[in-house]
Amino acid sequence: MLDYTLRHKPADGSTHWSSRKLAVQLGVPFTTVQRIWRKHDDIRPHHLDTHMGVQRSRL
């Protein structure tokens, strides 16, 4: 499940997986996805930054 989360994108064009979308895709309860993601705190699809070209200005 973790491998699938990192290597595939949602078919609906979303920028990241939700636990419910991934659960439907894999045929498991969404609570299973949530539980596994919670145990692996380093896996947070909604926190992965894919916009590397954008820089924040320093104040």
In a domain, 28, yes or no: yes
Tens digits of residue pLDDT in 9-21? 998 998 889 999 9
Residue 37 within any structural domain of the chain: yes
Check residues 42 and 32 and name the one with the higher pLDDT: 32
Q: Is the pLDDT confidence value at 50 over 90?
A: no
Residue numbers of the domain that contains 19: 2-7+15-47
Q: How many helices (H) and strands (E) does the chain have?
A: 3, 0
50: number of CA atoms within 13 Å, CB side? 8
Token pair 């596994």: residue: 36
Is residue 58 included in any domain, yes or no? no
- Residue 55 falls within a domain, yes or no? no
In a domain, residue 56? The reply is no
pLDDT at residue 57 above 70?
no
Say how many domains are in the chain: 1
Is 53 within a domain?
no
Residue 21 lies in a domain: yes
